[in-house]
Amino acid sequence: MTIFVFVGSLLGAMSLGMPIAFALLASGVALMLHLGSFDTQILAQNMLEGVNNYPLMAVPFFMLAGELMNAGGLSRRIVRVADAAVGHVRGGLGYVAIIAATVVASISGSAVADTAAVAALLIPMMRNAGYNVPRAAGLIAAGGIIAPVIPPSIAIVVFGVVAQVSITKLFLAGIAPGAMMALTLAVTWHFCARKEKLAPTEPFNVRRLGRAALDGVWALVLPVVIIGGMKIGAFTPTEAAVVAVVYAMVAGRFVYGELKLRALPELIVTAAKTSSTVLFLVACALVSAWLITIANIPAQVTDLLEPFIDNKILLMFVIMVLVIVVGTALDLMPTVLIMTPILMPVITKAGIDPVYFGVMFVLNNAIGLLTPPVGTVLNVVAGTSRCSLDSVIGGVWPFLLSLTALMFLFVLFPQLILVPAAWLH
């Protein structure tokens, strides 16, 4: 009955057009009323305690780092280096998009922001070069979802806080699957590009690559600083976010000279708005998470999944299918916040590595950013590329299917994530 009350009130509030954060709060109130323990003080206290968490400070700083990176010219230089390296091959701008998406993702960790930046830079170039624009937009959208998996992922920070799993371990475990996502997209694009009728490209030039690399070295070094610093224990993920902000500001202002001081207030306000949305969502979700625990919903879900507990691969398969279904209706962050407290007890009882599950769970939710009808990243790319959403959905299917296949490969062979994670840690 408690599961019905929670799910029914949540879906009911969403069907009325209520924003996700308020729908989560409404479902929390419904659970409190059902349990006969409604108290506004407890609501307020849990909301405040939910966001009064040191690791969550990484969210606004990584958001700001992304804004500074785009305004300071770092993103454009990353694209320029990738173009000089692989732009000459057939379908080269597609490979440029994949490389740029991966490098940009390793700086800011926001799928929507990273996708918008790469799409704004590359879609006009691809259109002028004669590429199939909906297919190109689908590729850029698929590349954008590397950001929630590869460090410094904001989604992983939130999962780590809610699940109480080491964020540093999650970050390091996300490197290998993020790289494999990029490789999978490159292989898929190779077969798609063979069907493209493209104009001849500029031949490879070592000097051009050298100039681009020299100009973009400050942008390319930032991911190494962030990941390397966490690897050697120089700073925590939260401190890494601050380092990223300072680095992006210094590079954009004093090295490239493109970051104007008068633009800083607007960039800070933009990052603050985005961060406040995420953190308010976290605050409301953690009220529901606390009540989910009080109402013993995880135990009820564990009982439902009991037939699969003894078979880790089968259990992960069932959970991944469940998350795919949920991901078609909910955005990444709400799904992480709602389902993490429900699923973690099941994972713990089954003896599945929580770091492995965290990466898989976030990867699955990231794929949900490409699935209609919600498909947040699809909407961003459609707007940026001036294509209809239907045509972008048609363009993204080969990449969506290949990434989904990769995810289920990780289900069958967890060592693909666990072995590199153990080596990197």
- pLDDT of 50 reads 67
Containing H/E element for 230?
Answer: helix 206-231
Residue 200: pLDDT band with limits 50, 70, 90: low
CA distance 365 to 147: 12
Q: Once rounded to an integer, what is the mean pLDDT over residues 320-348?
A: 84
- pLDDT of 409 reads 96
- pLDDT of 374 reads 62
Digit-coded pLDDT (tens) for 283-315: 777 777 777 777 766 677 777 787 888 899 999
CA distance 230 to 134: 38
- Which residues in 300-315 are b (16+ Cβ under 10 Å) and which e? ebbeebeebbeebeeb
What's the per-residue H, E or C state across 386-425?
A: CCCHHHHHHHHHHHHHHHHHHHHHHHHCCHHHHHHHHHHC
- pLDDT of 285 reads 73
Q: Retrieve residue 125's tokens.
A: 């170039």
**Cβ atoms of 291 and 2 closer than 8 Å:** no
CA distance 243 to 246: 5
Q: Once rounded to an integer, what is the mean pLDDT over residues 340-350?
A: 89
Q: Retrieve residue 40's tokens.
A: 């506004």
Better-scored residue on pLDDT, 389 or 263: 263
Highest-confidence segment of 157-161, 238-242, 304-308, 354-358: 354-358
pLDDT at residue 424 greater than cutoff 90 = no
Residue 281: pLDDT band with limits 50, 70, 90: confident
pLDDT at residue 189 greater than cutoff 90 = yes
Q: Once rounded to an integer, what is the mean pLDDT over residues 370-374?
A: 73
pLDDT at residue 170 greater than cutoff 90 = yes
Burial class (CB in 10 A: 0-12, 13-18, 19+), 264: middle
- pLDDT of 27 reads 79
Digit-coded pLDDT (tens) for 258-271: 888 898 899 899 88
- pTM, two decimals, is 0.84
- HSE (side-chain half, CA atoms, 13 Å) at 274: 20
pLDDT at residue 55 greater than cutoff 80 = no
The pair phi, psi for residue 35, each rounded to 5°, is -85, -5
CA distance 249 to 251: 6
Digit-coded pLDDT (tens) for 5-24: 777 777 787 778 777 778 87
Q: Which residues contact 312 (CB under 8 A, 6 or more apart)?
A: 350, 351, 352, 414
pLDDT at residue 113 greater than cutoff 70 = yes
Residue 56: pLDDT band with limits 50, 70, 90: confident
**Cβ atoms of 280 and 21 closer than 8 Å:** yes
- pLDDT of 307 reads 83
**Cβ atoms of 1 and 260 closer than 8 Å:** no
- pLDDT of 184 reads 96
CA distance 375 to 180: 22
Q: What is the DSSP letter of 260?
A: -
pLDDT at residue 387 greater than cutoff 70 = yes
| Secondary structure percentages of the chain, helix, strand, coil, to 5 | 80, 0, 20
To the nearest whole number, what is the mean pLDDT of the chain? 84
- pLDDT of 195 reads 75
pLDDT at residue 63 greater than cutoff 70 = yes
Q: Once rounded to an integer, what is the mean pLDDT over residues 226-254?
A: 85
- pLDDT of 373 reads 61
Cis amide leading into 124 (omega within 30): no
Q: Which of 292, 370, 278, 356 is nearest to 319 (CA)?
A: 356
pLDDT at residue 411 greater than cutoff 90 = yes
What's the count of helices (H) and strands (E) in the chain, helices before strands? 21, 0
Please report, for the chain, the start and end positions of each structural domain, with discontinuous segments joined by +.
1-38, 55-424
Q: What is the DSSP letter of 373?
A: T
